[in-house]
Structure 1
Amino acid sequence: MSQWYPKKGRVIFHVDMNSFYASVEMAYNPKLKGKPLAIAGNPEERKGIIVTSSYEARAKGVRTTMQLWEARRLCPDLTVLRPNFDRYRTASKEMFQMLAAITTCVQPVSIDEGYMDITGTEEHGSPIEIAENLQQQIKNELDLPCSIGIAPNKFLAKMASDMKKPMGITILRKRDIREKLWPLPIEEMYGVGEKTAAKMRAIDIQTIGDLANGDGYQLKQLFGINGERLKNRANGMDERPVDPDAVHEFKSIGSSQTLPTDTVDEDEIRQLMNLLADNVERRMKRKQAMGRSIQIMIRYYDRTTVTRSKKLHDYIDKKEDILYAANELFQKHWNTEPIRLLGITVQDVDEKQNIAKQLDLFTYEKEAEKEKLYTTIDQLTQKYGKNTFKQLQNDTDDELRTSFQKDFLDDYKK
C-alpha cells in the first residue's frame, strides 16, 4: 500500500459537496429530486437572490447570485425554497465527522467544502479507495453527492474537485498539469476573479498555461505579490499545509444586507447602517475581538460597487464606535445615487487577549470587569432581541444575515 503514498510529499483531498443546499433539501424531501430547485434568500422581496440551485435548474440557465425574477423567467417550473441553515449545518457537521474519522488533519473552509491530508493513513486503503469509500459513505448515509480532488497540495486538489461534477473523483498530479490544467481558461483558475482575469487577458494571458509561462516581472508589476503567487500556483506549487485550526483565524468581521428596493432615503439608510453596526458588534463580542480599521461597501442600483476603508487611532468593538466611523466614511463617499446594498466591516481584527498587551493595563482591566455583563446582555439580545420581555418576530431574518459566518465550522469535533 505504501507505493500509493509519496515518501516526502503529501496526499491531500478537497471534498466539495455538490449543489449543497439544494441537495440537502432533496435528501430531506425526495419528491424534489429530479426537479429544478433553487434556494433563495428571500423569495418575497427583490432580495430573492439565488444562493444555489440544483443541476436540473442549472441546465435551464439558473445560476448562483441571479435575481429570482430572472431565474423564474428562464425556468417557469422552478421550485424555490428559503434557506434552512439549521438543516444545512447538521448535514455539514455529519459530513465533516466522516472526514475526521479518516484523519484528524481536516480543514473546513465553508459549510460545504474542506481539505483533508490523508498522508500516513494507509490502513484505510489507497487514496483512490479512500476517496471512493468516503464519497459512497456520504451518499449512502446522508443522501448527498460530493466531488473529491486528490493532489499533492491544496491548490491542485481544489482545481481537481471542480473538474468532474457531480459525484466526481479526479486525481491531479504535478506531472498532469500540462495536460489537464494548463489548457483551461484563466477564469477557471481558483484565485483568479473576474477583474484579475480581465487584466490578464489584456496582456494576452488567455489560459492557465499562459499564466504558468508568463513574465514573472510583469505579473508582479501588475498584481503585486499576488502575481507571483498565482504564477506559482499555475505551475502546481502550493506550500500551504492543511490546517485544522485555520477556522479560528480571522482578520475581519462584517455584515452586509441588500435593501428591498433601491433607495436614496436617508432614514432608511440610517436604519440599515444601525442594524449592520449592531450585527458587527455582536459578532465581535462573540469572538472576543477588536479591530483597528473600518470599511464600508456601497453597491449602487447599477451594481457598481465601491469599498472604502480607514485606519483608526484605537481598537474598537462597540456599536457606537463602529457606526460613527462607518457613517463618516459613508458621508464622504456616497455619490447620492440609489443604493442597492450596504456593508460594514471591521478590519485588522485580533482577539482581545492579544490586544491587551498593547493597551493600557488599567483601561483594559476596567473593560474586562464589564465582560460578564456584556456577555449576559448579548445572550439575552441574541435570544429575545433588544427588548428582553418581547420575543422578536424576525428571528429567521437574523439567521439569514448570520448564516455565512464560520463560527460553527468546528462543530464536528464536539
Structure 2
Amino acid sequence: MNHKKSWYPKKGRVILHADMNSFYASVETADDPRLRGKPLAIAGNPDERKGIIVTCNYEARAYGIKTTMALWQAKKLCKDLIVKRPNMDRYREISREIFAIFEEFTPFVEPISIDEGYLDISECYEQGTPLEIANRIQMKLKEKLDLPCSIGIAPNKFLAKMASDMKKPNGITILRKRDIPNKLWVLPIDDMHGVGYKTAERMRERNIKTIGDLAKADPFLIKGVFGINGEKLRRRALGEDPRPVDPNSVSVYKSIGSSQTFAQDISVLEELTYKLNDLAKKTEQRIIKSGVVGRAVQLTIRYEDRTTITRRISASQYVYEAKDIFYYGRKLLEKHWNERPVRLLGITLQEVIPKEQATYQLEFFDETK
C-alpha cells in the first residue's frame, strides 16, 4: 500500500482552492519584467476622474491602494503608480493555461472565476501528500507562467476557500476540522466567504462579531432573521459544506472532460485509441447534461513514471458530439504520444459556452456535415 495514502481520509474529501494572486497585475508583470517591484494597478479607465482600480499588485497595496478605489485617490497615495488598462484576451489565454496545469493533477477541477478554482485530489495519493501536490502546483505555475498562487487545503470547498485567503501571496494553508476553533472562529464575520457587507452589518447588530459567534448562535434565530442562506452560513461556520467539486459547472472558463487511470499501463496505439473513443463518448454524455458546446479539445497523457503532458487543439467550429471530440483527440494522440507506456488518458472539451449562445455557429456546422 502506498504510504502517502495515510495522508488522505478513508471517508471524505481532500479539496484544494487555488487562487491566483493579483492575477491581472501578475500577468502584466510576467509579460513585462520591467514592472517587477514597482507599484502597478489595472484600471478600467485611465481617466483619473472616472477610472476605478480593478486590481493592483502588492507593491501598490503597501501604499493603501485597494480594488474599487477611484484612480485619482490611488494616485494621491502613490504618485509613482503605474496604471495599465485590462487586457482581457490575454488574461483569458493565461487562464486556460492555468486550468490546463490544474488538470494535469486531477480531472476534478471546478473553475469559479478566471483566476481561481477548486480541485478534488481525494484519489491522488499516488502523486504524493496534499501538501506535496499543492507545492508542485505552485512550482509549475511559477516555472511555466511566472505567476504566484495561494492554495488552501481542506476537507470541503468552504474551508479550502477560507484557507487560501490566510497566506498571501504564494502561501499554502491546511485547514482541518480540528483547526476550526483556533484558525477560523477567531476571524471577524466580515472575513467569512459568502458574508457581504450588509449581512455582516446585520449580524454585528445581533452581537455576531466573529465567525465563531455565528457558529455558536441559536440556529432558530439565524434562520428566522437571515432565512435559509443564514442557516447555510451558520453550518459553514461549523465547517460543514457538502458541495462536491463539479467539473461540469458551466462557465466560459470551464471545461468538461473524462479521464481514466488504467489497471495496467497501455503501450499499443490501437488500444489507446479504443480507450480514447470511450472517453469521448463519456464526455459527450456530460456535455448533453450540461447543455454546452466547446471550441477546443485537450488531451492529457500520463506516463508510467507519472510524467504528464497536455496538448490542445482548436476546432474549426463548436464541438459537442463524441465523434468530433474523438477526431481531434486522436489527432493529438497520434502526434504527441511518444510510444512509452501510458498510465492515464484524459480528453477535455474546453472554451465551453452554453449551447444557446452558439446557435448560429452550430447550425452552420450541422450543414457542413
Q: TM-score range with shorter-chain normalisation?
A: 0.5 to 0.7
What runs of 5+ residues in structure 1 fail to find an aligned partner? 250-285, 289-349, 354-370, 377-414
Q: Which residue of 2 aligns with 1:100?
A: 103
Equivalence map 1:143-158=2 (5 Å):
143-158=146-161
Residue in structure 2 matching 1:212, options 210, 215, 222: 215
1:126 match? 129
Kept in 2: contact 1:109–1:247 (CA 8 A): no
Residue 40 in structure 1 maps to residue 43 in structure 2: yes
Which amino acid is the alignment partner of residue 127 of structure 1?
A: P
Q: How does 1:14-413 map to 2 (within 5 A)?
A: 14-44=17-47, 46-248=49-251, 372=360
* Shift, 1:113, TM fit: 0.2
Q: 1:66 to 1:351 in 2, by over 3 A?
A: same
Encode CA deviations 1:94-137: one digit per residue, 9 max, x unaligned: 11111001100000000000000001111211100000011011
Instruction: Provide closer, same or farther for how the CA distance between residues 202 and 57 of structure 1 changes in structure 2, counting only shifts above 3 A.
Output: same
CA distance in 1, matches of 2:50, 2:235: 39
The SS at the match of 1:163 is coil
Distance 1:374 1:108, change over 3 A: closer
Q: Which amino acid aligns with 1:62?
A: I
* Superposition RMSD in Å: 2.2
SS in structure 2 of the partner of residue 187 of structure 1: helix
TM norm structure 1: 0.61
Separation (CA, whole Å) in 1 of partners of 2:114 and 2:361: 32
Partner of 2:301: none
Q: What is the letter of the counterpart of residue 148 of structure 1?
A: I
Q: Is the 8 A contact 2:48 2:70 kept in 1?
A: no
Secondary structure of the residue aligned to 1:101 is: helix
Q: SS at the partner of 1:119?
A: coil
- In 2: Cα distance, 1:2 partner to 1:200 partner: 41
Query: Tell me, which stretches of 5 or more residues in structure 2 are unaligned?
Result: 253-290, 294-353, 365-369
Q: How many angstroms apart in 1 are the aligned matches of 2:117 and 2:356?
A: 28
Whole-angstrom CA distance in 2 between matches of 1:373 and 1:52: 35
Q: Are the aligned partners of 1:150 and 1:160 in contact in 2 as well (CA < 8 Å)?
A: yes
Deviation at 1:47, TM superposition (A): 3.8
Q: Which amino acid aligns with 1:190?
A: H
- Given that 2:111 and 2:117 are in contact with CA atoms closer than 8 Å, whether structure 1 keeps it comes out as yes
* d(CA) in 2 for partners of 1:198, 1:225: 18
Distance 2:363 2:34 in 1: 44
Say whether the 8 Å CA contact 1:40–1:68 is kept in structure 2. yes
Q: Is the 8 A contact 1:151 1:171 kept in 2?
A: yes
- Residue 31 to residue 188, structure 1, CA distance change in 2 (3 Å): same
- 1:97 and 1:127 map into 2 onto residues whose CA distance is 19
| Residues 372 and 168 of structure 1, relative CA distance in 2, 3 Å threshold | closer
Query: What TM-score do the two structures reach when normalised by structure 2?
Result: 0.68
Alpha-carbon distance, 1:44 to partner: 2.7
Aligned AA (1:2): K
Identity %: 63
Deviations 1:384-408 (A, max 9, x none): xxxxxxxxxxxxxxxxxxxxxxxxx
- Seen in structure 2, the aligned counterparts of structure 1 residues 235 and 373 have a Cα distance that, compared at 3 Å, is closer
SS at match of 1:224: helix
Distance in 2 (CA, whole Å) between partners of 1:86 and 1:59 is: 28
How much does 1:39 deviate? 0.1
- Distance (Å, rounded) in 2 between the aligned partners of 1:248 and 1:195: 27
Alignment deviations for residues 204-262 of structure 1 (CA, whole Å, 9 cap, x no partner): 0010000000111111111100111010000000000000011259xxxxxxxxxxxxx
Distance (Å, rounded) in 2 between the aligned partners of 1:179 and 1:137: 32
Specify which of 10, 23, 37 is matched with residue 7 of structure 1. Answer: 10
Query: Are the counterparts in 2 of residues 11 and 118 from structure 1 also a CA contact under 8 Å?
Result: yes
1:22-70 CA distances to partner (integer Å, 9 max, x unpaired)?
Answer: 0000000001010000000011364411000000100101100111111
Q: CA deviation at 1:86?
A: 1.5
Q: What amino acid sits opposite 2:238 in the alignment? A: N
Q: Which amino acid aligns with 1:16?
A: D
